[in-house]
Amino acid sequence: MTPSIHLREAITEADWAAVQAVRTRVFIEEQGCTPEEEWDAADAAEARGRTVHHLLATEAGVPVGVARWRLVGDTVKLERFAVVPEARGRGLARALVTHALDAARAAGHRRFVLHAQTYVTGLYASFGFQPVGGVFDEAGIEHVKMALETG
């Protein structure tokens, strides 16, 4: 990851607008998800920063990546990892995963699950995530459920 990229929790309305812009560009425009598939109750204003944590990566003040983590029962679900095309290949996805895991662990959580698009399972496997079950369709895209439990 380049030194000019900064990661933080998205807490202001301006941060939230930046998160929306990145997710719209990557998931809706690039990958063809519908707005109904992309936006859910975990995006509601009352959840942000409380039960749901949105991460924002910026480069020179420009939003380039996002992620989200939230507690589902006793397990943290990592989701909505997105990096804009011009920022890919520089370690930003890895940095977002690291930041999300570190933040969740700092909050005392040790069990993690995610639905990985099949082409990025290697990234998550490098953190110790293991596949759980086979390939399934989510929003018209092949995914694999992966899980990680840490001590």
pLDDT tens digit at each of 151 positions of the chain:
566 889 999 999 999 999 999 999 999 999 999 999 999 988 887 777 778 999 999 999 999 999 999 999 999 999 999 999 999 999 999 999 999 999 999 999 999 999 999 999 999 999 999 999 999 999 999 999 999 998 7
For 3, residues 6+ apart whose C-beta sits below 8 A from its C-beta are: none
Strands (E), the chain: 5-9, 52-59, 62-72, 75-83, 111-117, 130-138, 141-149
For 9, residues 6+ apart whose C-beta sits below 8 A from its C-beta are: 49, 53, 54, 55, 56, 103
The per-residue b/e assignment along 34-68, b for 16 or more CB within 10 angstroms, e otherwise, is: eeeebbeebbeeeebeeebbbbbbbbeeebbbbbb
pLDDT at 103: 95
Extract the tokens encoding 120: 């990025």
pLDDT at 6: 94
3-state secondary structure of 20: helix
| CATH code of the region 5-149 | 3.40.630.30
pLDDT at 44: 83
Domain spans, the chain: 5-149
pLDDT at 4: 85
Q: Are strands 75-83 and 111-117 parallel, antiparallel or unpaired?
A: parallel
Distance in Å from the first CA to the final CA of the chain: 27
pLDDT at 101: 97
pLDDT at 104: 96
Distances (CA, A) of 80 to 3, 4, 55, 130, 147: 23, 22, 10, 19, 16
